[in-house]
């Protein structure tokens, strides 16, 4: 065999990515530089004012600090205003500009410190603005085996062309979409469909890129290139979800934006009443929304801390906020509501053998099979019955079943069409019933007679029936289950879970459309999932929660919240923490606004000078911050 071997490449960085990362790093450094410089300037001036008895030099240091550190804040606010974005930061900017014009450097530096510190805290608490697609891209099929006459050449999956004849070995990813032209095997399609069951594929059937060839080698003909295949479509869906994600409005801006006109009116009225221009600055200083800028991020970060203690990783304050606002919870079925691993549901005897005897027979034979379902049968039999006899004359038929002799009896186990080849008698009514309900099953034939059926089911995760009513008590109005499974299975699982609204036979893009529809209705959407097929939906939702303990890396990467423990009931804890944190943040905001308005009126009447206003504002800040700290308890 000749050819070029293409191994998995070490991650390389695109120059544009390096520049972008450097740019982002620079932004973070400059953001933290302002509060640090403000503290140093305030402290240096304080030393000269209090200990070195040099008020003149102290004012020069404070004034320089005010200009140098205040200018970036003013510039950024003006740019936002030009772009039509108005926020409570405008009040702080007015206070900074007025302090510069009136040479009230001490009060101005206090405002700069509070404003820059609030922004730094908020930035620290917020999740990254873009979704990292690197893990998804790294997980895409990389290698393909092109067959040219009798030679196999290893090529990059990206180089595979439509019409190429490709060999796919057991355990490998299907490199591109195509059709099997030779051989048969089982494929694990869970990365695309979300369903954990294996699907038998034979000659003439289509297979999708990103799925896994489990059992035997097959030859396939490529029908799409790598960039047009199903896995690449999921990558693009995630990218589109990232681009379409609406920006989040800060709580402070939502509740405090009306403070701007009130401040301007009171400042103007105070100037007319007192005839003193410093009254304007006094009003601005007292009005500076530090409780909104500081207390809110502190509350949100307190929520982050509390969530982390419970094994819930929340990617920033905005995700906590969205948890608190969530109105509808949407769950993926397989791997989220259910365990995602088919288990023996029941053994149905047909004839003289009991269910225990049938389990012993099946477990004995399946010990030698490599099929995942066979391994589960053997494991269940050993757990219940102990040591099992080894079969004789074992033979496996790929994707169909196995035959052997156990205790002198001729046994065949597999799908019904396989077992029928060995049957002389036996009732098949039960087979029709199971197939009508789309239940996964294996037949057991003993001495050419249909003797039993093993039915499988995907079991609910522990705690799901209690989780659903708990979420409703927390204020989640509607709960929905989405699945790529058939209607019968979806209906059965949703009924046992206590979820009335369910959608079935869905592809990843269908889930995306459902979430988009709910968001267009103005609802805050919470999505819970675990597989690669859930990644687009997790990215599009207002807040996506990934089952990170066993879920796909890309789901954890695109989600806003990750459950580090394999426990879906943690979703209830996450929602509770989010709603409690939001409630505390709003309390701090309400207190800050009310106190600011009250002292603005006093300042407008001429009873508060700017330096006193700065001290009063700090007292309001302290109370608001202490209240916000309760979120971490």
User: Domains (ranges, CATH) in the chain?
Assistant: 142-175+177-223 (2.70.150.10), 343-457 (3.40.1110.10)
Phi, psi of 327 (to 5 degrees): -115, -30
Collapsing DSSP states into helix, strand and coil, what is residue 613? helix
User: Distance of alpha carbon 472 from its chain centroid, rounded?
Assistant: 21
Contact between 227 and 158 (Cβ < 8 Å): yes
User: Is the CA virtual torsion 475, 478, 483, 486 positive or negative?
Assistant: positive
**Number of residues assigned to the chain:** 633
Whole-number Å distance between alpha carbons of 515 and 519: 6
Of the ranges 218-227, 433-442, 550-559, which one carries the lowest mean pLDDT score?
550-559
For the sheet containing 143-148, what is the strand order? 151-156, 143-148, 165-168, 218-222, 178-182, 206-207
User: Percent of the chain at pLDDT above 70?
Assistant: 81
d(CA 242, CA 230): 19
Kindly report the number of other CB atoms within 10 A of residue 405's CB atom: 13
Per the structure block, which two tokens stand in for 213?
A: 């060839």
**What is the full DSSP assignment across 138-151?**
HTS--EEEEEETTE
Count how many Cα atoms sit within 13 Å of the Cα of residue 425 in the half-sphere of its side chain. Answer: 7
Instruction: Compute the average pLDDT of residues 324-337.
Output: 91
Catalytic residue (one of 164, 177, 189, 332): 332
Q: For residue 2, what pLDDT is reported?
A: 35
The CA distances from residue 570 to 297, 460, 561, 563, 628, in Å, are 23, 15, 11, 7, 23
Q: Which residue has the tokens 């982390």?
A: 308
Give me the residue label for tokens 């930061």: 89
466 is a catalytic site residue = no
* Interval 215-229: pLDDT, tens: 889 999 999 888 877
**164 burial class (0-12, 13-18, 19+ CB within 10 angstroms)?**
buried
- In angstroms, the Cα distances linking 467 to 216, 463, 576 are 41, 6, 12
Residue 3 has phi, psi (to 5 degrees) of 150, 175
Pairwise CA distance, residues 633 & 612, whole Å: 33
Separation between Cα atoms, residue 205 and residue 146, nearest integer Å: 19
Pair of tokens at residue 354: 């009991």
- Mean residue pLDDT of the chain comes to 80
How confident is the model over 81-138, as pLDDT tens digits?
887 766 667 778 888 888 888 888 888 888 888 777 766 665 554 433 333 344 445 5
Specify the pLDDT at position 528.
93
Cα dihedral 479, 484, 485, 486 in deg (nearest 10): 90
Stretch 333-357: mean pLDDT: 86
- Output the pTM of the full model: 0.62
């Amino acid at each position: 065999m000749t050819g070029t071997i293409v191994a998995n490449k070490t991650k390389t960085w695109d120059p544009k990515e390096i520049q972008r990362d450097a740019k982002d790093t620079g932004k973070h450094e400059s953001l933290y530089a302002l509060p640090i410089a403000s503290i140093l300037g305030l402290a240096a001036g304080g030393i000269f004012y209090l200990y070195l008895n040099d008020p003149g030099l102290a004012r020069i240091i404070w004034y320089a600090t005010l200009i140098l550190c205040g200018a970036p804040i003013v510039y950024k606010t003006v740019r936002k205003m030009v772009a039509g974005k108005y926020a409570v930061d405008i009040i702080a900017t007015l206070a900074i500009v007025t302090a510069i014009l009136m040479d009230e450097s001490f009060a101005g530096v206090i405002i700069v410190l509070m404003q820059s510190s609030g922004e730094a805290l908020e930035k620290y608490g917020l999740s990254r603005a873009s979704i990292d697609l690197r893990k998804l891209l790294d997980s895409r099929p990389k290698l393909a085996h092109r067959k040219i006459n009798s030679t196999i050449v290893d090529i990059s999956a990206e180089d595979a062309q439509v019409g190429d004849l490709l060999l796919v070995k057991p355990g490998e990813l299907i490199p591109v979409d195509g059709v099997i032209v030779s051989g048969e095997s089982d494929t694990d399609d869970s990365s695309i469909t979300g369903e954990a069951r294996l699907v038998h594929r034979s000659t003439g059937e289509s297979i999708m890129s990103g799925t896994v060839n489990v059992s035997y080698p097959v030859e396939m003909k490529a029908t799409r290139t790598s960039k047009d295949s199903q896995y690449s479509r999921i990558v693009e869906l995630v990218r589109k979800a990232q681009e379409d994600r609406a920006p989040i409005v800060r709580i402070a801006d939502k509740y405090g934006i009306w403070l701007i006109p009130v401040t301007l009116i009171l400042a103007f009225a105070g100037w007319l009443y007192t005839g003193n221009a410093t009254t304007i600055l006094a009003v601005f200083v007292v009005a500076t929304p530090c409780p909104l800028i500081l207390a809110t991020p502190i509350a949100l970060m307190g929520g982050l801390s509390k969530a982390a203690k419970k094994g819930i990783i929340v990617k920033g304050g905005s995700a906590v906020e969205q948890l608190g606002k969530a109105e509808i919870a949407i769950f993926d079925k397989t791997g989220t509501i259910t365990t995602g691993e088919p288990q023996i549901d029941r053994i149905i005897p047909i004839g003289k053998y009991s269910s225990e005897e049938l389990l012993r027979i099946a477990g004995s034979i399946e010990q030698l099979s490599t099929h995942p379902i066979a391994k589960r049968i053997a494991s269940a039999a050993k757990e219940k019955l102990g040591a099992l006899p080894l079969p004789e004359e074992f033979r496996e038929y790929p994707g169909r079943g196995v035959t052997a002799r156990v205790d002198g009896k001729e046994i065949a186990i597999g799908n019904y069409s396989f077992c029928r080849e060995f049957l002389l008698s036996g009732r098949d009514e039960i087979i029709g019933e199971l197939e009508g309900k789309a239940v996964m099953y294996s037949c057991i034939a003993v001495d050419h007679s249909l003797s039993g059926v093993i039915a499988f089911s995907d079991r609910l995760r522990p705690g799901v029936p209690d989780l659903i009513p708990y979420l409703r008590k927390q204020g989640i109005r509607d709960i929905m289950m989405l699945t790529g499974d058939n209607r019968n299975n979806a209906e059965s699982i949703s009924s046992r879970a206590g979820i009335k609204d369910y959608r079935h036979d869905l592809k990843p893009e269908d889930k995306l459309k459902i979430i988009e529809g709910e968001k267009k209705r103005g609802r805050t959407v919470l999505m819970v999932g675990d597989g690669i097929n859930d990644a687009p939906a997790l990215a599009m939702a207002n807040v996506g929660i990934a089952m990170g303990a066993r879920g796909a890396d890309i789901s954890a990467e695109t989600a806003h919240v990750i459950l580090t423990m394999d426990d879906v009931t943690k979703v209830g804890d996450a929602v509770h923490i989010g709603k409690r944190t939001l409630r505390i943040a709003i309390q701090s905001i309400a207190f800050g606004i009310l106190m600011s308005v009250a002292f603005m009126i006093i300042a407008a009447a001429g009873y508060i000078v700017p330096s006193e206003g700065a001290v009063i504002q700090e007292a309001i800040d302290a109370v608001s911050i202490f209240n916000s700290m309760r979120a971490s308890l």
